[in-house]
Amino acid sequence: MATSTKNTAPLRVGLLGLGTVGQGVLRVLAQNGDEIERRLGRRIVVSHIAMRDPSAKRDCDLSGVTICATAAEVVAADVDVIAELIGGMQPAQNLVLDAIARGKPVITANKALIAEHGNEIFAAAQAKNVFVGFEAAVAGGIPIIKAVREGLSANRIDSLAGIINGTSNYILTQMSRRGIAFAEALAEAQKLGYAEADPTFDVEGIDAAHKLNILASLAFGTPLRFSAVATEGISQVLPQDIQLAQELGYRIKSLGIAKHASANGEDTVELRVHPTLVPVDHLLAKTDGALNAIRVHGNAVGQTVFVGKGAGGDATASAVIADLIDAARWLAAPAQAVPYLGFGSSALKEARALAFAEIESAYYLRLKVADEPGVLRAITSILADLDISVEAILQKEPGENEDATLAIITSQIPESRCNRALEKLSELTFVRAGWSRLRVEHFED
């Protein structure tokens, strides 16, 4: 049980899982232990660990650590804090709930668990008055949870947008720099260890949807609702689109976008993950490789952008250990807890999630058309009839006996209207099959 007397004994951590992040935690604690102790006033030691394969080769020192046969044994052991670094739904969920039931603070790097079961976990933790830290669940080493929940707490946050999946960003960056196809870039990302065990989580936007769901709740004070996130993956993006976007002044990034609005007595949220054209001079457009970047817009502070490593053992360990420090401070003064989502549970407010068909955006359209007179006029007249302005247009001259390619950037329009335009354009005999439609995002300062 927590007490308010000053405790200088080492904080004993029980680690569940010794994969990339777990090893990072041991390494960073070994390397920075003195500095961390200087900040906290007590040492942090990993005292117990459970791992799936004790015989696997590892890059960290386990001397003095009790190796338990099961994760459940670690949760039951004489430790002060539990760090769940297993990932996935089960047994992680039961282990976290077991730790909470025992009154032990829990740290987790598990984005899927928080995104899909965070409401129940926080309710259980609140009932027992137990600390739960999840900084490592979003954007690895970037302290974005704390920034949104605490650093920006004076603001009404209306939107955030971020590159929150390093694998997708690596793939799009390599396709852009080297003109390689999606499949080749994905194989490289897997070899470099960026991808999830199931890489469809990365390339279909599910991993980013987990993280976006968490960020949106912190930003807008809405309960977690993973099913509300609309996703489109990056596998449909062709090197040709990247090239055309570049010529139009954009880079294609997979963004998680969250927006909150209140109108006519109704609160709505847009939660979407999709490939997005970003103006080339914006910081998000310049964030390449496996890096993550998150733009948060608050009504007092304006635009803020946080950039850094979104994955990797040591970078993610930085977030886990920051939470361990907070857990130790909470153990010393449990009354001073920050609400899990930055808003007290009774202050969380539902908002209706918009489907893709209900959003508004600017769009990039790529069409393959016959190289004939009058084609451009027919296309622009269909767009004009639907009150869609053309902001930019690019025509690629075809080779002999080939079709021409048109790339169009539209004005801001309802997505339903963009879909109607595409239906009408597809009916034209000189518009060939195989068009592409991507969303474009512009950012205010």
Q: In terms of CB distance, is 14 or 310 closer to ligand HSE?
A: 310
Q: Give the angle 11-47-35 at the CA atoms, nearest 5°.
A: 45
Binding site for ligand HSE (CB under 6 A): 140, 165-167, 194-196, 202, 207, 310-311
What is the smallest separation between the CB atom of 292 and ligand HSE, expressed in angstroms?
7
Q: Which residues contact 218 (CB under 8 A, 6 or more apart)?
A: 145, 148, 149, 341, 342
Q: Which residues of 108-145 are buried (b: 16+ CB within 10 A; e: fewer)?
A: bbbbbbbbbbbbebbebbbeeebbbbbbbbbbbbbbbb
What is the smallest separation between the CB atom of 316 and ligand HSE, expressed in angstroms?
7
Active-site residue identified among 111, 211, 253, 368: 211
What is the smallest separation between the CB atom of 356 and ligand HSE, expressed in angstroms?
23
What is the smallest separation between the CB atom of 346 and ligand HSE, expressed in angstroms?
31
Residue 88: how many other CB atoms lie within 10 Å: 13
Q: In terms of CB distance, is 14 or 140 closer to ligand HSE?
A: 140
From the list 402, 404, 408, 411, the residue with the least C-alpha distance to 431 is 404
What is the smallest separation between the CB atom of 286 and ligand HSE, expressed in angstroms?
18
Q: In terms of CB distance, is 202 or 204 closer to ligand HSE?
A: 202
What is the smallest separation between the CB atom of 208 and ligand HSE, expressed in angstroms?
8
For residue 91, whether the previous peptide bond is cis, meaning omega lies within 30 degrees of 0, is yes
What is the smallest separation between the CB atom of 6 and ligand HSE, expressed in angstroms?
36
What is the smallest separation between the CB atom of 87 and ligand HSE, expressed in angstroms?
9
Quote the CA–CA distance of 76 and 64 in Å, as a whole number. Answer: 19
Distances (CA, A) of 350 to 14, 224, 266: 36, 9, 10
Q: In terms of CB distance, is 47 or 318 closer to ligand HSE?
A: 318
User: What backbone torsions phi and psi does residue 8 show, to the nearest 5 degrees?
Assistant: -105, 0
Position 55: which residue type? S
Q: Are 311 and 166 in contact (CB under 8 A)?
A: yes
Q: In terms of CB distance, is 166 or 342 closer to ligand HSE?
A: 166
Quote the CA–CA distance of 192 and 368 in Å, as a whole number. Answer: 36
Residue 380 token pair: 């622009």
Q: What is the DSSP letter of 431?
A: B
Quote the CA–CA distance of 311 and 295 in Å, as a whole number. Answer: 18
From the list 176, 235, 218, 211, the residue with the least C-alpha distance to 293 is 211
3-state secondary structure of 186: helix
Quote the CA–CA distance of 348 and 344 in Å, as a whole number. Answer: 7
Q: Are 250 and 440 in contact (CB under 8 A)?
A: yes
| Residues in a beta bridge with 414 | 360
Any catalytic annotation for residue 211?
yes
Active site members: 211
